[in-house]
Amino acid sequence: MLKPIAFTAAVLASLHAADAFALNASPLRTAAVRARVASTAAPNLRLAGGVGSVQMQVSGLQTFTESDTWKRTDIPALLKEGASYFLNDKDVKFVPCSGGVNNLVQYAMTSTGEKYIMRIYNNGGNTKRVRFEHEVLAALDPQRDKLAFKVPKYLGTLKDPKVTFVKLSSGAEACMSEVIPGTLPKNADPYILGKAAGELCKALTECKVEAPCPTPPYFKIYGVHHAMSEEVFYEEIKKPEFDCIRNTALPKLVAELERLDKQMIGAEAIKRNEGKYPMQLIHGDLHYDNVLVDGEKVSGLLDFEFAAQDWRAMEPAVCLTKYAADKEPFKLMDAFLDGMSVLVGLFCSLIGLFLGLF
């Protein structure tokens, strides 16, 4: 039962995982062919960074997507400007960290030995998305002590403790958070990651957010990014880059995706699915690169920037996409789903959604 569910989940969310999969002739890995196409058209499907983006290395450790405006930015000066809103310390130092693929994220080290995370958003000036993220985390505040892991806790500004992000002179938003201890887990014990994801998913059902959600749901698959459409996708897979699987996995994959398209998009499908599947607030980007572990426990869940109102089933779907390129993807997916199924009622409703798409 779990294997077809896991596979369907990975296919449904593959558009989001453009950086997760390598293209080759393996039938299992070609489940991510749509993600490979997406990586050609849009490096991050929910990143509203506009056109002309490039990859730029910061301090030799951190890579993030930048627009032309960022290329002309004095990064050290911008970091100091951002920190000045949250810390009364002119001698704060910055140390690059391994995270922050899209945004500029560095440790802020104070002269008194305190350590924080300085985050400057690189999202095309999407203030609505930043505000929604911060309101989601604020809505989780009453449950923080009950969770088995930590989620980001943003500092208020020196001027107003209730304000947790500011707009800098460059036009980008910035915020500062407490440090959550831990390391990236990659493929380490998906069971504990699944259990944490299920716990967060349940907690988010109790969150009420006043701000309108600026992020389109994944079930509107071709509306997630301005650079991707149904027409663009099917034109892309005609290109030579896909010749290596042209007569093997590609026909089967395309047939499956076309079937899912009929189930999910189009006026009739939208009308048929309206109100049919559980909707809720989801993290929307909870793959293992946004998880921290400390020993054998999940210590933190990070990066709520793409939180959205979506089908509940899209939460585990996104989680599973990172495992699809592994040599034994179903083993990892099953372990993750076993962990998530600790919340039996939640998982049963997810099974109902996946089976409804077969």
* One domain, residues 151 and 204: no
171 and 194 both lie in a single domain: no
Using the 3D structure, point to which of 178, 195, 228 is the last residue of a domain. 178
Of 142-156, 227-241, 272-286, 342-356, the least confident? 342-356
Q: Is 217 exposed, middle or buried (0-12, 13-18, 19+ CB in 10 A)?
A: middle
pLDDT at res. 273: 84
Q: Which of 120, 113, 210 is nearest to 171 (CA)?
A: 120
Domain co-membership, 108 together with 72:
yes
Residue 88, judged by CB atoms within 10 A of its CB (0-12, 13-18, 19+), counts as exposed
* Furthest CA-CA distance within the chain: 63
Identify whether residues 157 and 124 lie together within a single domain: yes
pLDDT in tens, 95-134: 998 766 689 999 999 999 999 999 999 988 899 999 999 9
245 vs 354, which has greater pLDDT? 245
Domain boundary pick from 130, 162, 178:
178
Residue 164 has pLDDT above 70, yes or no: yes
Report the mean per-residue pLDDT for the chain: 79
- Rounded to an integer, the average pLDDT of 152-167 is 98
Out of 34-48, 104-118, 232-246, 287-301, which region has the weakest mean confidence (pLDDT)? 34-48
Residues 173 and 268 occupy one common structural domain: no
Residues 14 and 284 sit within 8 Å (Cβ to Cβ) = no
Task: Name the domain count of the chain.
Answer: 2
Considering the domain architecture, whether residues 207 and 322 belong to the same structural domain is answered as yes
Give me the mean pLDDT over the 248-261 stretch.
87
State the average pLDDT over residues 32-56.
Answer: 36
**pLDDT, mean of residues 85-93:** 97
Based on the fold, state whether residues 205 and 219 are members of the same structural domain: yes
206-221 confidence digits (pLDDT tens): 999 999 999 999 888 8
Average pLDDT over residues 12-33: 33
Give residue 273's identity as a one-letter amino acid code. N
Specify the residue for token string 């389109």.
216
Please report which confidence band the pLDDT of residue 19 belongs to, taking 50, 70 and 90 as the band edges: very low
Residues 121 and 198 in one domain: no
The CATH number that applies at residue 146 is 3.30.200
Q: What's the pLDDT at 352?
A: 53
pLDDT confidence of residue 221: 81
Single residue among 157, 178, 199 that ends a domain in this structure:
178
Shared-domain flag, residues 31 and 104: no
User: Residue 273, SS3?
Assistant: helix
Report the CATH number that the domain containing residue 285 is assigned in CATH.
3.90.1200
Question: What pLDDT sits at residue 55?
Answer: 34
Phi-psi region of 284 (alpha: psi -120 to 50; beta: other; left: phi over 0): left
Q: Are residues 44 and 64 part of one domain?
A: no
Cα(208)–Cα(205) distance, integer angstroms: 8
Q: Which pLDDT band holds residue 324 (cuts at 50, 70, 90)?
A: confident
Where in the chain does DSSP place strands (E)?
Answer: 54-58, 62-66, 93-96, 104-109, 115-120, 166-167, 173-178, 279-282, 291-294, 297-301, 308-311
**Domain shared by 202 and 333, yes or no:** yes
Tell me the three state secondary structure of residue 183: strand
pLDDT tier for residue 306 given thresholds of 50, 70 and 90: very high
Q: Which of 99, 117, 98, 133 shows the shortest CA–CA distance to 178? A: 117
In the prediction, which pLDDT does 24 show?
31
Question: What is the structure's pLDDT at 346?
Answer: 57
Say whether both 325 and 193 belong to one domain.
yes
Q: 190 pLDDT band (50/70/90 cuts)?
A: very high
Domain that holds residue 277: 2-48+185-356
The secondary structure of 106-157 as a DSSP string is: EEEE-TTS-EEEEEE--SSS-HHHHHHHHHHHHHTGGGGGGSSSB---BPPP
